[in-house]
Chain A
Amino acid sequence: MFGEELARLEREGVVALTPAQRNAISAHHRGLLAQFSQEFDIDRDARAKQLSLGMRIASFLGALALAASVFFLFRQFWDRFSTTAQVVILIVAALGTFGATLWIQARESSGYFTKLAAMVAFACFVINISLLGLIFNITPSDKALIPWAAFALLLAYTCDLRLLLAAGILCIIAWISARTGTWSGMYWLHFGERPENFFPAAVILFLVPQWIPHGRFTGFGPIYRVFALLTLFLPILVLSNWGRVSYLDFEENSIEGFYQVLGFVLSAGAIWLGARRHWGEVVNTGSVFFVIFLYTKFFDWWWEIMPKYLFFLVLGLTAVLLLFIMRRLRAKGLFGGSAP
């Protein structure tokens, strides 16, 4: 990239290098890149970056497939073992795959194989606890989500793995929401039937990267914020269309109206906050939900009464209008940038 920039500067006459200087700079950068590539497994050029993306996708799919493979391996041979042997196999599998993950991590700098191993270790631990429940007829409990979350976060933070962070966050969301639901007396497995149960989890997740600096971990802060916003906006979207599933003791239409307004206010607020703090993922998530809330209202108002071509034309024009508004706000520096 620096090579391209240097070539452009030379073409435009900003700098003039002698062949010896050009060769010296080029040799210096080649040396640096070779060193970084060896030490940190970074991408040396755009082609290597594309290949890395492919490897990330392959390792993600491979991790899921390996986890599924472990699950079906247990199912295939499970009924051939005595109870004691089953318990020993479950614990040894969880411990062994965890140890193997750390062993691979110590020998690999790219993280692709560590991700595979960590996902298998997490799957083994989940299967460990689930099958203990099955073997001994243990009553299902949301408490199992706590060690699963802890294990996923341990792997995520020690191996710098976003996939495991996402798995841990999902366990945390489920546990906090289930606990919130049980305060109203409901059985914990029904927490999804009252979308408001997700709100405390959303607030806590959003604040985590504020309390704990995540500078050392690639993309961890944005993952917390994106999951927090999804945990906030998806329930609001449900409640703004099906008010009867709310805790609020008002008329159905009033509940839906309240959550529609709340959806607009909070998604606009997310766009503003994200722009102020330079959180691109917050701006994007807020924008997506603002548009979804808007389109949902358009659908309610006009789908039945408008010709379809006109309806979609209105949607398209609205998107263009939103683009203009956001560009003007950015130009005026209202998003924290500097005005021209």
Chain B
Amino acid sequence: MTLTWSSGRTLAAGIALIALTNTIALGGVAYNRSGEPESVLKLTQREVLAPHGYGLDREGGGLQLHVSWRVLGPEWDDAYFWNFQGTPEWLDEAKLASLGFDVSPPPVERRASWRYDRQLPREALVVLELDGPAYQKALERARQREAKEAAKGAETGKTGPGTSAAQAALFLKNEETANTRLFAVDVGRDARALRAKYPDRTRYAIVQGKVRPYHQSGRGKDARWTGYIEVIENARVNVPLEFRKAVESAPRSIPYAAAAPAGPAFEVTMAFGKRFEPWILAAKP
């Protein structure tokens, strides 16, 4: 076989390749956005953050908003990390097995156990919940912690700046006014089953992500398989030119309670389509 094409055929082949590739890409976008969106969430600046360097980096290549999400961890101390993305309390062995991971008990021999710590991430559909029970639980934890630390402080007389009581109060304030209310609450492979379980399309969005398992060492029930959501796809969402003013006019981030009490500066209506890819429907200051 020899390739002896004329310039005309080469030109036609190149144009066809470029046209076909763009058509497939744009066709996928049209399909994703066709009909009713899979879900529509109204996010505030608590849930979508502008990049820190925006405006300073003149070669940034457009504006993207970062969707800020977190999980409710099994430990109370996790509540101190406002964007905790570690091990969710609901990601158990059954859930991992449903994603296709091998959750059989690791071998007893220590030298062989490394094999079970190296399962690679798998694709999964992640359910994001906005201002729902998970956020209320996080808020309740913050309130209980604040009450506990305040009582301790009253006993010991340590209530000034920098004490545990002051930190707990500050964290509660942030949890009420600044921290993201978007929580990853479930994972699965079947979008229909997930939607049937979480039918409210204005509170629950299904997105694509990756889950990575690991084996937690310990004795008895403590030794078990668990994991974490390694990444959520398209967590950076492009801001089209028509919505840029609303986003740019807002402060870079919400000032924390320690600096000044302030609410979110803009609201973004974000849709998620048939391929679970997001886009901005509206943005207002």
Contact = CB atoms under 8 A, between A and B. Distances in A.
Q: Do chains A and B interact in one complex? A: yes
A83 interface: yes
Given A187-B120, A187-B210, A79 B17 contact: no
Contacts of B111: 251-252
Nearest to B237: A137
A102 B10 contact: yes
B1 A137 contact: no
Nearest to B272: A137
B93 interface: no
Contacts, number: 136
A154 B3 CA distance: 10
A70 interface: no
Contact of B238 (A129, A137, A155): A137
A138 B275 CA distance: 9
Contacts of A190: 120-121
> What size tier do the contact residues of chain B reach?
35 or more
Nearest to B236: A137
B18 A186 contact: no
Contact of B7 (A94, A102, A211, A216): A102
Contact of A79 (B13, B25, B122, B244): B244
A139 B17 contact: no
A83 B279 CA distance: 12
Contacts of A76: 58-59
Interface residues of A, number: 55
Contact of B61 (A78, A95, A133): A78
Given A185-B122, A244-B118, A75 B60 contact: yes
A186 B233 contact: no
Given A79-B62, A193-B120, A137 B115 contact: no
A186 B124 CA distance: 11
Contact of A129 (B21, B123, B275): B21
Contacts of B120: 184-187, 190, 193-194
A186 B122 contact: yes
Contacts of B3: 157-158, 216
Contacts of A133: 25
B94 interface: no
A136 interface: yes
Contacts of A3: none
Interface string A73-88: 0111011111100010
A98 B14 contact: yes
A210 to B, nearest CB: 12
A83 B22 contact: no
Q: Which 10 A-B pairs have the closest CB atoms?
A: A75-B61, A186-B120, A147-B21, A79-B62, A136-B29, A158-B10, A137-B234, A75-B59, A98-B14, A78-B61
18 contacts: A74-B61, A78-B61, A79-B61, A98-B15, A105-B7, A128-B21, A132-B29, A134-B62, A134-B64, A135-B238, A136-B26, A136-B279, A138-B234, A139-B234, A185-B122, A187-B120, A251-B112, A252-B114
Given A136-B277, A138-B277, A187-B121, 14 more contacts: A74-B61, A78-B62, A81-B241, A82-B241, A82-B242, A136-B25, A136-B32, A136-B279, A158-B5, A186-B120, A186-B121, A190-B121, A194-B120, A212-B1
